[in-house]
Structure 1
Amino acid sequence: MSAAISPAVIVEDCLPRYQQFVSSKRETSGEAITPVLVQAGSPVDSQLTCAADQTYVRWDLGPIAVNTASIRSSTPSRSSAPSATGLYTNTTVVSSPVDPSP
């Protein structure tokens, strides 16, 4: 594989409490992106720690050229219960097994 291509790009997301994953797509093409894992709380092999009441979502985007802004995704979610007024944080990590940055 070329040094200019990351062999695997993984995106991990913790949806805030009261949010449920609905779907995801590439903003530029509208192409669906199917997650490889959706569950309550983060799995043991995750690089992201989600609380048990948060929804963890993982996508494997495959090879992507290094230093490009080629991926923008849209991930709508819906409220699973009436939520209190307040600020909710959505935490996401993008990583590659060959990327040495923290």
Structure 2
Amino acid sequence: ECSGKNNYLGQGKKYNTMFWCGPKDCVSPLHYDPLDNLFLHFVGRKSFILYPPMLENKNEDYYAGVNGQQYNTCPIDVEKGTEKVYKQYPLFKNVARKGQIGIVNPG
């Protein structure tokens, strides 16, 4: 445990904060992060699609943890095209339109 009133990131726990560093053209599958995040952007362009927080009883809408995926990762390829995704994953319609796109450009 980390003590002190100013331990917001990681909720005061030593192992609740992670550092990820990716190479050029790195792509992450659609997932949610159970821990706090601080995003640092050094080079290139990064795009995000942010969806509402996943509630425990709504994981089925995201298909999280199915098809051998980790509990916080889903098999949906959001770049595949809306109709193809909805046909294969019909419950995703419940959350897909609530997503927000964010892009971080160089400079």
TM range (shorter): under 0.3
TM-score scaled by structure 2?
0.22
Q: Please say which structure displays the higher CA radius of gyration.
A: 2
> More helix per residue: 1 or 2?
2
> More strand per residue: 1 or 2?
1
TM-score scaled by structure 1?
0.23
Return the structure number with greater relative CO, CA threshold 8 A, min gap 6.
1
